[in-house]
Amino acid sequence: MKCDYRNLFTIILSLQLLFLASSESAAQSERNNRYIAEKTDMAKVGVLGKVITLEVVRSEAILSNAALLQLRRKADAARGQWIQAGLKENPLIGYAADELSRGNSGKHGVQISQTIINKHKLTARQIAESKEFLTTQQRCAVQEQKVLNDAMAAAYRTAIAERKYVLLTELLKNSEEAYQVSVRLADGKQISRTEFLALKIQAKRTKLVLDDALIAYKSSSKILALLLGRLPEELLSIADDVTELPLEVQPESALAGMLQSSPQVVLSQLEIEAAKSQQEKEYAETKRDYAANISLLHNTETDNAELSFGVAVPLRIYNKNQGNIQRAKMETAAAIHNAERLRTLLSIRFQEVYSDYQSAFQRVKTYKNNLLSESQESFDLVLTGYKHGVVNSTELLNTQRTLISVRVEYLDCVDKFWEAYVLLQGSLLTGGLELP
């Protein structure tokens, strides 16, 4: 949720000027202004929720995700199919009779039959199922990366949202102190009634802006808690310093690495192998199986035992499995095209995300190396001039507004940086609760 920071800053800084003009000690006023600047750099954490680390986020995210657990069970089922595909047919045993006549005479006995599956066919079936098992396992890897990306993005959003809220809270505390001074000034007829009412209305609007910041933090925290399998009522705080950025990502090596080792790319290659194995299996299904049977009968008329043996083979006249072979061929071609499509899609998506990442990275560097320190130095110089009567209140107000705007914008840039960085490091995957 976006907050109207410009109005907030104008309100706070106007009240601070009144506080500065009416305070008994110039040193006390300087300490108050410097307190605001220091709080903007790195807001305290753990003020609103239970403190956890990013490492805890990583470990808990993959333990409780329902979609990931569902895929793992499907992988276990595929493993069962793999085992089943390598098993031989069970033999059949039953009663057999021949040349029956009245008086229960004739031949009676037992018959055993066995379907002998072609060895090549049995091997091809098992290989096809093993490839399907590996493919299902890789789908779990894709889903795990999605889960991690979603959780880490939510963690960074929560961290930045809390730091913004704490920053605005500290600013509001100072404005409330200044507002009490403005009340006394209004009672002493040192400011007009119109000016006092305007400041009173603006102060109430300031509280609304702070409420919006709290809502944004709670929303981010609840989403993070749900992704970690926790109760959404449990507010969370990230202990890690999210303002410390990792080394810059190099686009050429990052893209090459992603196109080679991305879980999605690996999955597409395994799907090609699985489709080819299925095609080989369908060809193997044209091999002939043998149905053998043996019967042991007792001839009641001659009281002799008789043994018979038979073998049957299918005649491939009409059904030569040509339909399944055609289907397997087309599925193999489709899997190859899908891999090509995926590489192109990832390359395009990488350029889009890297553009956002590069912009945010440069902005964060500029703020840290120049703007933060320069805005603070500018404010200190103007404040000194204001105390000596060289600078007017308007210039001081503008300088203060710039100082606080820069520090809030800095947190916004850090937020955008981590959003893009998580995607680049996580193969651009999102949607941890959506099945592939």
Q: Is residue 374 part of a domain?
A: yes
Which residue type sits at 325?
I
Phi, psi angles (nearest 5°) of residue 46: 80, 5
Q: Is residue 98 part of a domain?
A: no
Q: Is residue 272 part of a domain?
A: no
Residues 278-304 have pLDDT tens digits of: 999 999 999 999 999 999 988 888 888
Q: Is residue 218 part of a domain?
A: yes
Range among 10-14, 368-372, 385-389, 424-428 rated most confident: 424-428
Six token digits for residue 22: 């009416």
Range of the domain at 390: 5-88+130-265+343-425
CA distance 142 to 135: 11
% of residues, the chain, pLDDT over 90: 58
Total count of domains within the chain = 1
Residues 22-37 have pLDDT tens digits of: 443 344 344 334 433 4
Mean pLDDT of 155-173: 84
The enclosing domain of 388 has a CATH number of: 1.20.1600.10
Q: Is residue 77 part of a domain?
A: yes
Q: What is the overall mean pLDDT for the chain? A: 83
Give the list of residues 6+ apart from residue 136 with CB closer than 8 angstroms, or none: 71, 74, 75, 78
- Burial letters 315-342, b for 16+ CB under 10 A, else e: eeeeeebeebbeebbebbeebbeebeeb
Q: Is residue 396 part of a domain?
A: yes
User: What pLDDT, on the 0 to 100 scale, is given for residue 392?
Assistant: 58
Answer whether residue 210 shows pLDDT above 60: yes
Q: Is residue 289 part of a domain?
A: no
CA distance 287 to 381: 91
Residues 329-346 have pLDDT tens digits of: 999 999 999 999 999 999
pTM of the model: 0.80
Q: Is residue 125 part of a domain?
A: no
